[in-house]
Amino acid sequence: MQNLHFTPSLTFFTVGCVALIVVGTLCVLATTRSARPKRTGAIEALRFLITLLVVLMLWGPEWKTIITPENEPEIAILWDASRSGETLDAQLPDGKNSVVSRRAFIDSALKLDVWKTLENNGKTAVFSQPFSEPSPNTETTATTLQGTDINDPIEKLLEQHDNLRAIVLLSDGDWNTGSPPIGAAQKMLLKNVPLFTIPVGSKERLPDIEILDITAPTYGIIGEPIQIPFSLRSSLKRDINTTIKLRDTSNGKEFTKKVHIPAGKEYFDNVLWRIDREGTSKLELSFPVAEGELVVENNRQEFIIQGKKENLKVLVIESIPRWEYRFIRNALSRDPGVDLDCLLFHPKLGKGDGPDYIQDFPDKLEDLQKYDVVFIGDVGIANGQLTLKQTELLKGLVENQASGIVFIPGSKGNQKTLLNTPLGELIPVILDESKPEGISESTASPLALTSQGRGSLLTMLGDNELENERVWKNLPGFYWSAAIEKAKGGADVLATHANRRNRYGRIPLLVTKSAGNGKVLYLGHDSAWRWRRGVEDLYHYRFWGQVARWMSYQRNMAAGEQIRLYYSPDRPRPADVVTLKANAFDSNGAPLTDGSIYVDVTSPNGEKSRIELTRSAEAWGSYSGRTRISLPGEWKLSAGIVNDADATVETTIIAQGDVLEKTGQPARPEVLEEMARVTGGEVIMAKDIKDIANRINALPIKKPQEESIPLWAQIASMITLIVLLALFWTLRKLNGTF
């Protein structure tokens, strides 16, 4: 039904009537007094019509359409069919408080006769439908992405049904995909559809211990230990002593570690694993089911790691052959995975010569870019040492080529001259410039690991954490250290001076920091060589080997002849944005200055896309780009130089996706309560389900939907009025002419 409706206020109605009477009177008088009454009468009639239109617009005319639904009112019952329904924490209102799964609770609720009562002798249609049903696809990717979306099914109901009287929602409220369900509740409010929610499940987490996260590196060096951090969460009400087991699923190799998990808290730890073969290995972290634990499937988690052979290129720069330099050179030269070059600026004897020595600093980019790690000893800006241009090259190598740089100051204080050079920005500590020669002590002082240092692979000198702590306590101390005030912002302090402190606290002596794409390490004493006492190379060799491999980790993610590709984060999750960075070189090994780099991305489901990387540092052949990870699984990357088919490198990103829909998670009734409140509905507890028919039937009868078009606000009304005014003015002038 359609009609024209006016809503004038008393003032506008009165003013309008008076205006019409006055204008009508004037029109009649003008017509009767005119010498040409017919022509004047037509013009005055137009004047009156314009006045009438203006008055009607002031009275707020609206064209109303009343829509009466042709079908009968409907009540929709939505029930949660997601995998979380397997959680065993729902109590039946049977007087015995029997505990069943959430799915069983919903099934029993749907079988009640109360839903037939809502049909009201056939005057109301009642229908039910599930949402978030698990897909029959059992592939890991499909299972991982399945979740609970409460918003979407409600919005679809509102679109498909125009005569909904109410919606009943049976769910635990634990949504994890889609838009927030409060948006659907607001749309229900606009359509005057109340929501009645029936919470299912308990707000308390089931007694359980679950693996939250495993942050393993993407690859490891064959024969070298890697650190695999993990986190657990316990909802048990008592502490648990258990055994973590890390197993290679292909050959059965195992590593076990006893852990103590506190009650009701998250637990963070790591395990050490040694890769023994090249290629991809699937590892499984697991622990036995504890007494009273109800959820078993989250006690194990698999991940993939790659084993690689290595060939690190290391440059050591020093001014004098001090003991620290000699033993670093000795350790790295005997490391089969390291290709060592040494540049010794001896002030009196001339530059060092012999095996592993070079005579000049590699000033060409194609020569310098090959180094994965650079050690800077007691060297500065001086005749016969480094130049300002060379410090710029070293900084560019770290920031643009993802190389690592290690600062080891000495008692000569030469590194003080680096503070006002580009390398000074990389030094991760603030030095006391009044003491360039450092601080000497009469007794040996040990290093004290920080909490961050105790969990770092760099400082892991034992086979486990307990042994490592014992090793560090027994390491020989140092007699000289750099005059350090504090660490710079963003730096990680791994070890401090055990016997000295200043106004900033413990003096940091082992500090790391990121710089652009690369890493920086600062060791504030020159006595690591003394760790050989009584044990020879056991700890000294291991420490510097770990430093070289840790600092070159990102740079060697995927290295080809002409392209080096690395990315961050190295273990992304679905929905993460991965930053891709590449260094490209020409056939002579010099950084590419003219060319384009592409990356072909193949997703786990076979979809392919190409990304054109943008140049970020022209002199260093650096390029960068971004891609979004949408699925868990293996993402294959193939980077290349446009118009050069031979210049390619391939790698694989492992996107470790958590299963969105987990059993054992606590229910979220507060979500359902907020939705019901917004829509004007109610929260119905389990014991009150039988009363839901009375509450819905008590709702006021839904009025027919009414749509109105405000005619006064339409552009057509304004145009019509302007045209009539223009016509009136023109005719009036013409009438005065004739």
CATH number at residue 113: 3.40.50.410
Same domain, 348 and 456: yes
DSSP secondary structure, 274-312, as one string: E--SSEEEEEEEE-PPPTT----GGGEEEEEEEEE---E
Domains in the chain, number: 5
Question: What would the mean pLDDT of 236-252 be, rounded to a whole number?
Answer: 91
Position 130 scores a pLDDT of: 93
Question: How is residue 574 annotated by DSSP?
Answer: T
pLDDT at 286: 94
Given a cut of 50, is residue 527 above it in pLDDT? yes
Strand partners, 495: 449, 510
Task: Determine the pLDDT at residue 121.
Answer: 62
Task: Encode pLDDT of 85-94 as tens digits.
Answer: 888 888 888 7
Do the domain assignments include residue 173?
yes
3-class SS string, 436-472: CCCEEEEEEECEEECHHHHCCCCCCCCCCHHHHHHHH
**Same structural domain for residues 325 and 411?**
yes
**Residue 631 maps to which CATH number?**
2.60.40.1930
**DSSP per position, 208-219:** -EEEEEE---SE
**Of 263, 287, 306, which residue is a domain's last?**
306
566 and 547 together in one domain? no
Say if 6 falls within a structural domain. Answer: yes
- Is residue 542 domain-shared with residue 408, that is, in the same domain? yes
The rounded radius of gyration (Å) of the Cα atoms in the chain is: 39
pLDDT in tens, 324-368: 999 999 888 888 888 999 999 877 766 767 788 898 899 888 889
| Helix (H/G/I), strand (E/B), else coil: 605 | coil
What is the band of 1 on the pLDDT scale with cuts at 50, 70, 90? low
Confidence of residue 737 (pLDDT cuts 50, 70, 90): very low
Q: What pLDDT does residue 663 have?
A: 80
**Residue 680 one-letter amino acid:** G
Helix (H) or strand (E) holding 640: strand 633-641
Residue 239, Cα to own-chain centre: how many angstroms?
32
Q: Which residue has the higher pLDDT, 351 or 44?
A: 44
Least confident among 178-182, 614-618, 641-645: 614-618
Does the residue 363 lie in any domain?
yes
Q: Which amino acid is at 653?
A: I
Domain span holding position 172: 74-136+145-204+666-703
246 and 272 co-located in one domain = yes
Q: What is the mean pLDDT of the chain?
A: 86
CB proximity list for 361: less than 8 A, separation 6 or greater: 317, 343, 386, 390
Alpha-carbon distances, residue 155 vs 125, 473, 641 (angstroms): 19, 63, 48
521: CATH: 3.40.50.880
Which of 165, 177, 93 lies closest to 131, judged by CA?
Answer: 177
State residue 602's pLDDT score.
93
DSSP symbol at 364: S
- Are the CB atoms for 564 and 597 separated by under 8 Å? no
Residue 176: its pLDDT value, please? 85
Both 338 and 277 in one domain: the answer is: no
Q: Residue with structure tokens 């929709």?
A: 76
Residue 353 lies in a domain: yes
> Do 427 and 446 share a domain, yes or no?
yes
Q: Who wins on pLDDT, 644 or 439?
A: 439
What value does the mean pLDDT take over residues 683-699? 86
Instruction: To the nearest 10°, report the CA torsion of 452, 453, 454, 455.
Output: 60
For 143-193, how does the pLDDT look when each residue is reduced to its tens digit (9 = 90+)? 556 788 999 999 999 999 888 889 999 999 999 888 999 999 999 998 889
Distance between CA atoms of 2 and 8, rounded to whole angstroms? 19
Sole residue written with tokens 């005065």? 736
Residue at 445 is within a domain = yes
What pTM was estimated for this model as a whole?
Answer: 0.68
- At 119-138, the pLDDT tens digits run 766 678 889 999 988 876 54
Q: How many C-alpha atoms does 139 have within 13 Å on its Cβ side?
A: 9
What percent of the chain shows pLDDT beyond 70?
94
Q: Looking at the structure, do residues 440 and 540 belong to the same domain, yes or no?
A: yes
Q: What are the two backbone dihedrals, phi and then psi, of residue 539, each rounded to the nearest 5 degrees?
A: -95, -40
Residue 660 lies in a domain: no
Euclidean distance between CA atoms 16 and 8, whole angstroms? 10
Whether 427 has a pLDDT exceeding 90, the answer reads yes
State residue 177's pLDDT score. Answer: 85
Backbone φ, ψ for residue 606 (5° rounding): 95, -5
Q: Residue 695 pLDDT > 90, yes or no?
A: no
Cα dihedral: 65, 68, 73, 79 (round 10)? -30
Claim to verify: residue 377 and residue 449 sit in the same structural domain: yes
Residue 357's closest CA among 343, 339, 371, 376? 343
Query: Do 516 and 572 sit in the same domain of this protein?
Result: no
Beta-ladder partners of 125: 74
Domain edge (last residue) among 529, 551, 573: 551
Q: CA 378 to CA 409: how far, in whole Å?
A: 5
The pLDDT score that the predictor gives to residue 342 is: 93
Q: Are residues 515 and 385 part of one domain?
A: yes
Please check whether residue 602 lies inside any domain of the structure.
yes
Q: Is the pLDDT of residue 285 over 60?
A: yes
Q: At what angle do helices 715-737 and 37-58 cross, to 10 degrees?
A: 160
Model pLDDT, residue 352? 65
Both 415 and 396 in one domain: the answer is: yes
The residue among 551, 582, 614 that closes a domain is 551
Does the residue 661 lie in any domain? no
475-481: average pLDDT: 91
Strand, coil or helix: 4 = strand
